[in-house]
Structure formats: C-alpha cells, structure tokens
C-alpha cells in the first residue's frame, strides 16, 4: 500500500509539473490554456476552479466542462484557465487552444478560423518552446531534487582503492576469467572509482578490456561482447523468482542479483525475534561460514547457497569466539534466515561529502546528468530479447519505492523517474512531445507545416503504439509475478 501510494504521488507530481511546463510557455506567448487538470476528469471532476470577476469560483463533483455546459457564467471567460482535479488518479493534462492532441481533434479545430490566442497561430519557434516546455521542466526538476538531496543528506561513497580485500564476482563474471579477490585496476585504460562505475562500464557501456591485480600478478581480461545481454537474462530470471516470493508473502523483502560486490564476510548484526535464525540460536556477532557444508567466505555466497535449499532442514556453520558451531535450521520457501547482516561500510574506510546549499546546485546538476547518461546508455539493451523481457510497467516502477516510507527514497526515485519521463517524451514518437518536436523541426527545415489532419492521424498511430507498449510492459509484470 505504501509503495502504491508513493507511485501515485510521484507520477502525479511529475505529470503535473510536466504539463505546467507546457502551460508556462503557452501563457508566455499569449496562448489560451482552456483546462489544467491533475488526474483525469472523464465525465465528472471532483473539483474545478476558475477565477473571474476578481475572485475564485469553485464547482464540486460537477460534469466535465464542454461546449454544452449549462453553466453560462462559467463559460463567459474562455481566456481564464479552468483548474481541476479529476477522479482517475493517474497523471493529468493541459488543454491548449488550437492544438491537435488528446483534447482537440482536427475536425473540431477546423470549424473555426485561426485566432491569435491559439497554438496554431503562433510561429514555429514559439510552438517549439511550448512543446519542449514539459521536457525542460522535468529535467530541471530532477536536477533540483538531486541537488537538495545532496544538500540535506550529503553523499556517502566507498572508493574502490579502500577495498583492500578484493572483490566478490558472480558466476557470470567468473566465466569471463575473474577470480575471487581480484582487484580491478583499469577498464579500457581508465581507473574505476567504485563498484557502480564498474557495473556501468561492463554492462551498460560494453567496455571490454579489464586489468586486474591477482596476488602480485597483473592480469589482462577481455570481456565477451554479449556480457550485458547475458547479465540481463540472469537478472530477469532472478527478478521473476523474487517477484513470485513477494507475491506469496507481502512482507518479503526482495533482494537484488549481486553481479559484483566487496569481498566481506556475512556477520550477523541482528537476528529478528521469532524468525528462523533467532529460534535456531543465531545471535549478533555470529559469522556465517558455511551453508549445508559449502564454504561461504563472502556474504553474497551465503545468500546464493540459501536459495538452493528451499523447504529443507540444513546445518548452518557459524563462527564464534568459542569456535565453529553447527546450527540446524529449517529453511522455508522464502530461503531466508531472518537476520540483518553487518553493513559493508563497517569493514572499510568510507567517505562522506557534505554540501552547502550553493555547492549542492552544481553537484546536483552533475549527478543528474550522469544519471541520465547512464540511463541512455542502458537504453540500447532494450532492443535485445533479454532487454525487452526486462521491461516493466506500473508494478515494476512501484517496486522501486521502499516498503517503509522514506523521504530520501521517495524523492531520489521521483527525481530518477523525472529524468526518465523527460527522456521518453523526447523520443520521436507521435503523440509524445518528441513526435511534435520532429514535425516542428521538419517545418523549420522545409517551411512546410504538416496539416492538422496529418497530425491527428499521426497521433492516433502513436497512441496505438503506446497502448500496445503499455499492455506489454504491464503484462510483463503480471507474467513475472505468476509464472
């Protein structure tokens, strides 16, 4: 429920500020904005407001305003925007006079002569600014949010140079020639700063040459060209299993597939009262050194081995001051013991960076730009079979939010989604802002303005494609949850 609430709040906020970008530039160039709504008001609005005769007037649970609206007084002031809240709790819209979109069709617009306050009467540069206003506001909003997150919470990091124990490598990286405890020196000749940089370089950017320090030897490894695709295939299957577990138990905390991590032992920080480990006698400070006889010197190895024994009674070997102890326990179908392991930051020297308000501005811009660049690089994988399978809809987006309310988590994910919304809207697909931008650029170059009828048909095609995509990605969520 908390995740769903965060999803609705975030998407509504982002769509409203996106539409406000269109509104802002429309009013700047003297274009009428007939309606501005948060949520959709099909047939009826929860509340609507319009200012005329020097004061605000409100209507509650009233029929959607159209040309047949019996409230003549309300319709006397077409230059004044109607503000409202609809009853369908997703998104919103901005109805701009004289613009072919989901609120006006070509036939409706053709009934009247172009008026100076209409979108169609403005020059191509003004129309371009009105269209790109939404993308611009989403992008700027993300940078502002990232900056404020850095200002309030600062930034914690673990430089790779401080990880002197080497790294843990998943099976897919072992297949590429890595060995446990290898220390990565360079990737394509550049020194990575942290683990995030390594994953971005190998998976998203497709960099291939890696130099590692193995003991006292320097080893050169060449990555496979399909490493990113293979990783996505494994990630998809892992996510499917985790979603299934979460579906069976809504208290289940989903984990993430560990591609690479710091090589640290699994030390119990706390055992949850009443859960499997606490009942079996696991206590704070215990080190999990083996699962069912298989050595687990690194924390991810513990988690990997646990997944191999659902609904089984096994021996868990723990290290204590008194020596090693065999602890028998029954592992349920969720494959978890009910313990919280010690944070990796406990083992290494970390760095915390605090920002003043003015320092947070360029830092937020830099962080936002890096995040957008990462997302764009990742986008290339969407056009593979594995990438298409990894696409998710509202369920996948909602699962990004924390299950317990966290302002940091909410705003950091909202900022990321704002960047995604800006980028996706920039794609040259009819019915999206990018489709309008494409036609406007064509008009700038050729001087030929596409007809309203052509724009309407293009938008219909675009809406059809987007509807198919919407069905596909949400279908992916359902399939992954149940199969």
Q: Tell me: the pLDDT tens digits for 114-126? A: 888 889 889 999 9
Query: From edge to edge, which strands make up the β-sheet containing 183-187?
Result: 183-187, 209-214, 217-222
Range of the domain at 146: 1-11+124-154+354-483
Q: Do 478 and 358 fall into the same domain?
A: yes
Q: Do 1 and 148 fall into the same domain?
A: yes
Q: Is 96 inside a domain boundary?
A: no
List the CATH number of the domain containing 304. 2.30.42.10
Q: Do 310 and 376 fall into the same domain?
A: no
Q: Do 382 and 415 fall into the same domain?
A: yes
Q: What is the pLDDT of residue 323?
A: 82
Q: Do 5 and 136 fall into the same domain?
A: yes
> Mean pLDDT throughout 100-112?
71
Q: Do 237 and 382 fall into the same domain?
A: no
pLDDT tens-digit profile of 129-171? 999 999 999 999 999 999 999 999 998 888 888 888 889 999 9
Q: Do 150 and 213 fall into the same domain?
A: no
Asked whether 175 and 188 are in contact (CB, 8 A), the reply is: no
Which stretch of 6-20, 77-91, 232-246, 372-386 has the lowest confidence by average pLDDT? 232-246
Q: Is 32 inside a domain boundary?
A: no
Q: Do 402 and 452 fall into the same domain?
A: yes
Q: What is the pLDDT of residue 67?
A: 45
Q: Do 160 and 148 fall into the same domain?
A: no
Residue 53, classified by CB atoms within 10 Å of its CB into exposed (0-12), middle (13-18) or buried (19+), is: exposed
What residues does 326 pair with on adjacent strands?
317
Give the count of alpha carbons within 13 A of 387, CB side only: 14
Q: Do 480 and 411 fall into the same domain?
A: yes
Domain final residue pick, 343, 370, 397: 343
* Tokens 């794609």 belong to residue: 427
The CA angle 118-124-130, to the nearest 5 degrees, is: 60
């Amino acid at each position: 429920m908390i995740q769903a609430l965060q999803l609705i709040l975030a998407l509504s906020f982002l769509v409203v500020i996106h539409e406000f970008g269109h509104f802002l530039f429309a009013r700047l160039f003297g274009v009428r904005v007939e309606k501005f709504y948060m949520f959709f008001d099909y047939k009826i609005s929860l509340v609507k407001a319009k200012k005329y005769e020097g004061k605000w007037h409100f209507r509650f649970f009233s029929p959607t305003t159209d040309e047949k609206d019996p409230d003549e007084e309300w319709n006397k002031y077409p230059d004044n925007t109607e503000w409202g809240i609809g009853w369908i709790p997703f998104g919103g819209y901005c109805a701009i006079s004289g613009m072919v979109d989901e609120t006006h069709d070509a036939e409706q617009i053709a009934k009247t002569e172009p008026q100076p306050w209409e979108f169609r009467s403005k020059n191509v540069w003004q129309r371009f600014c009105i269209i790109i206003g939404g993308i611009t506001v989403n992008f700027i909003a993300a940078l502002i949010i990232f900056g404020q997150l850095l200002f309030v919470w600062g930034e914690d990091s673990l430089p790779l140079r401080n990880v002197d124990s080497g790294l843990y490598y998943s099976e897919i990286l072992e297949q590429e020639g890595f060995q446990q405890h290898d220390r990565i020196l360079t990737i394509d000749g550049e020194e990575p700063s942290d683990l995030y940089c390594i994953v971005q370089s190998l998976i998203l950017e497709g960099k291939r040459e890696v130099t590692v320090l193995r003991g006292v030897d320097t080893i050169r490894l060449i990555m496979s060209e399909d490493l990113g695709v293979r990783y996505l295939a494994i990630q998809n299957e892992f996510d499917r299993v985790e979603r299934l577990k979460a579906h069976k138990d809504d208290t289940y905390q989903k984990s993430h597939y560990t591609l690479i991590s710091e090589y640290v032992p699994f030390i119990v920080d706390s055992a949850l009262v009443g859960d499997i480990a606490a009942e079996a006698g696991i206590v704070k400070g215990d080190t999990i050194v083996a699962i069912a006889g298989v050595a687990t010197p690194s924390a991810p190895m513990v988690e990997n081995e646990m997944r191999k024994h659902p609904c089984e009674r096994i021996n868990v070997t723990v290290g204590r001051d008194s020596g090693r102890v065999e602890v028998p326990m029954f592992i349920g179908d969720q494959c978890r013991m009910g313990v919280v392991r010690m944070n990796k930051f406990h083992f290494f020297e970390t760095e915390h960076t605090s920002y003043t308000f003015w320092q947070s501005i360029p830092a937020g811009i830099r962080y936002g730009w890096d995040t957008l660049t990462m997302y764009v690089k990742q986008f290339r994988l969407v056009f593979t079979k594995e990438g298409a399978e990894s696409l998710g809809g509202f369920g996948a987006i909602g699962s990004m939010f924390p299950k317990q309310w966290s302002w940091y988590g909410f705003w950091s994910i909202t900022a990321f989604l704002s960047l995604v919304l800006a980028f996706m809207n920039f794609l040259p697909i009819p019915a999206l802002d990018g489709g309008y931008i494409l036609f406007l650029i064509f008009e700038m170059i050729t001087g030929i303005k596409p007809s309203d009828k052509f724009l309407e048909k293009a938008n219909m095609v675009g809406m059809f494609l987007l509807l198919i995509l919407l069905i596909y990605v949400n279908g992916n969520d359902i399939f992954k949850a149940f199969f």
